[in-house]
């Protein structure tokens, strides 16, 4: 279990490092912007009740032969991941 948590933290940090700093915040690590410009907060990972919640997302989906490598992960606001998963045609998801 501890190894799984360490791996998850490593993946979160790798994806978080690809977000953009938000000007005007004293803690540049805590609040960032995802690649779509949504404000996200480090402490709100996995929190779909937070306006700043975020999740790990594959840049190129696995269903479209995307890699499971950490370089293919991004931190994305939870609403964007939810919209993205429903926006893909069912035929692509089943492939």
Question: Structural domain boundaries of the chain?
Answer: 30-95
**Cβ-count burial of 77 within 10 angstroms (0-12 exposed, 13-18 middle, 19+ buried)?**
buried
Pairing of strands 54-58, 73-77: antiparallel
Give the model confidence (pLDDT) of 26-66 as tens digits.
Answer: 677 899 999 999 999 999 999 999 999 999 999 888 888 88
Question: Does residue 1 or residue 15 have the better pLDDT?
Answer: 15
């Amino acid at each position: 279990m501890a190894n799984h948590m360490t791996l998850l933290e490593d993946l979160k940090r790798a994806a978080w490092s690809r977000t953009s700093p938000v000007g005007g915040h004293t803690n540049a690590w805590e609040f960032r912007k995802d690649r779509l410009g949504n404000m996200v907060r480090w402490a709100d990972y996995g929190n779909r009740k937070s306006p700043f919640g975020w999740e790990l997302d594959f840049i190129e989906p696995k269903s479209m032969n995307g890699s499971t490598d950490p370089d293919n992960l991004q931190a994305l606001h939870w609403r964007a991941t939810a919209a993205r998963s429903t926006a893909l045609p069912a035929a692509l998801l089943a492939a």
